[in-house]
Amino acid sequence: MTDTINTQQTPALRPALPLPEAAARGLAAVGGLATAASAFLAWTYSSAFPGDLTVNGYPGGLQWVTLVAGLLVLLYALTGYRVPGLRWLAPGGAEGATVIVAFGALATTWFTLIAIADELGGLANLASGGWVAGIASLVALLGALGLPRDGVAADADNPLKRVVGYPGKRPDLRPAPALPVAVELLIITLALALGLGIFTFGIDTSYGELFGGFLITAVFAAWALSRSGALGRLTDITSRHRVFTAVGAFVAAAIFPFTQNSDANASIGVNLLIFGATALGLNVVVGLTGLLDLGYVAFLGVGAYTGALVSGAATSSLHVTFPFWAAAITGAAVSGIFGVILGAPTLRVRGDYLAIVTLGFGEIFRIVVNNLDGVSGPNVTGGPNGIPNIPDLSIFGFNLGNAHTIGGITLGRFANYFELMLVFIAIIVLVFSRSSSSRIGRAWVAIREDETAATAMGINAFRFKLLAFALGATLAGLAGTVMAHVGFSVVPDPFVFAGPVPPNSAFLLAAVVIGGMGTVTGPLIGAALFYLLQAKLQFLQSYQLLLFGIALILFMRFRPEGLIANKQRQLEFHEDETESAAELSTAGA
């Protein structure tokens, strides 16, 4: 891939360490190579640590993650030497990205060493390979810190920019020329395959330490790819082939159950899709319209209870059995009606008052379903015991509760529901995309930016806000009908503002804000990240609100637009940085 670089360069920041550039780059490369090579040495004397790190000649457990982290440092360091074939890894410059991956390798390595010392009783349990890894990762970071980096001189007092350079979009990088269509489609396919492989590895991690190391490396690698311009170039390619990318993404997701040997990971996958679909519905309300809804999970509960009541459960008070499609439509419709009922009297208030009202609605829903137990009120929801023994779905004679063999691979119960939920996700993504790009979507964005100005321009703010509430509730209810069958029962415990078990309103709101408000993929990635944290790191369940709070503070400070940024909001949040970079570029000219 050929890159054209503008000669109008922004002023360079001095490196954090006073080293000659050639020596610093060589030190980073040697440190990265040594870090990767240390994975083939024994790190402990005892096999009690998960993954058995006592073997020489073959990596195990967290050593695989360290191997990848070290190779990333080596690749980015070699990119600075302009090695043929590696420029695609850093079209916008490799210096800042080298620092980031070096920090990632250091964090992953020392996370492992500290975990070994904690679980086995001290650093004395480290074998020679562990010490080599720790020292090599430090050497790699020292070399990376000696590299010169581009940045904005006015922001030199910012520690983050001082270390990695200018973190935003490179103002001196021109768009790359379009490649042949076949090549671009191949790049998209390879990127999707790599994404599937990374997700499969992450969800297959069998213990918390391995998932923690994987997460550290993945976060720093994604940051480095963004900083180097590689993700930006990939985004440019996917934007030219949106339909192919969308279809390929769903195909890759559909392949996921076929990569699993057990149904346990498929269970995580289907719940992840349920919460991602619900987060997309909340994104209509919060991301597009700008309405802070703190009781949104209640709409998911309405859909779940409605689906359970009309699906032939033995304890259902309605004693009816709808076909699946009718049950799904009923659950979505009832949730939409509840959205209208809530929105009609409350959407005339704004800001904090609306948040308080929606929070109250969420609590009212939980109290009501607890009281409809036949004692405090009519027996509709079963009270705290909920509605158990919900039968599995049967679609065209295909019972989703039974295992099925396709192409020699057996798909269990949760894998079947995963594929069904993927179809629902496709429907919800289509509805969200069409709505956001329509006249209605533009009206929602106008209300989000300035409701008074939108009203002055002739937009009926109340009607459009009510429509957003109804659509968001409908999408949540659609996901709730599947959730009822996946879990065999529906109980009121998860449908609260904050709790140890997702879904809850705090979980969904954090997924939308951190994932990227107003985007399609942002809430899906945010929901996946938070649910995997809950599923893989069990000790975090007791610190859920603390985790959400810290994550929100960090993102509001360093990336307010979220992981997947809406272009308009990204320009708004980084307007000062863009103007500063443009002024410096003009001054250089």
In the predicted structure, residue 9 carries a pLDDT above the cut 50: no
CA 20 to chain centre: 39
241-257 residue pLDDT tens: 888 998 999 999 999 88
Q: Is the model's pLDDT at 583 over the cut of 70?
A: no
pLDDT at 574: 53
pLDDT at 193: 93
pLDDT, mean of residues 110-122: 88
| 398-399 vs 394-395, strand pairing mode | antiparallel
Give percent above pLDDT 70 in the chain.
Answer: 85
Per-residue buried b or exposed e for 199-218, using 16+ beta carbons within 10 Å of the residue's own CB: bebbbbbeeebbbbbbbbbb
The predicted model gives 54-59 an average pLDDT of 87
The closest alpha carbon to 512, from 249, 214, 288, belongs to 288
Residue 490 tokens, joined: 């529906």
Question: What is the pairing mode between strands 404-406 and 398-399?
Answer: unpaired
Tell me, what's the pLDDT at 505?
82
Q: How far apart are CA 333 and CA 335, in angstroms?
A: 5
Mean pLDDT of the chain: 81
pLDDT of residue 4: 39
Q: Is 356 exposed, middle or buried (0-12, 13-18, 19+ CB in 10 A)?
A: middle
Per-residue confidence band for 60, with pLDDT thresholds at 50, 70 and 90: confident
pLDDT, one tens digit per residue, over 200-219 is 888 888 888 888 899 999 99
pLDDT digits (tens, 9 = 90+) for 276-328: 899 988 988 888 888 888 888 889 989 989 988 888 887 777 788 888 888 88
- What is the distance between the alpha carbons of residues 280 and 424, in angstroms, rounded to a whole number? 12
The helix (run of H) or strand (run of E) holding residue 550 is helix 544-558
C-alpha distances in Å from residue 357, one per residue of 187, 325, 409, 465: 48, 33, 49, 15
227: its two tokens? 């900083």
pLDDT value at position 156? 46
What per-residue confidence (pLDDT) applies to 13? 54
Q: What is the pLDDT of residue 140?
A: 92
Q: Which three-class secondary structure state does DSSP give residue 61?
A: coil
Calpha distance 32→20 (Å, rounded): 18
Whole-number Å distance between alpha carbons of 125 and 42: 11
Domains of the chain by residue range = 12-169+178-243, 282-496
pLDDT at residue 181, as a whole number: 86
Is it the case that residue 365 has pLDDT exceeding 80?
yes
Question: Which pLDDT score is estimated for 386?
Answer: 84
Please state the pTM of the whole predicted model: 0.83
User: Would the pLDDT of 40 be above 90?
Assistant: yes
Q: Where are the alpha helices (DSSP H) in 48-180?
A: 62-79, 95-120, 128-145, 159-164
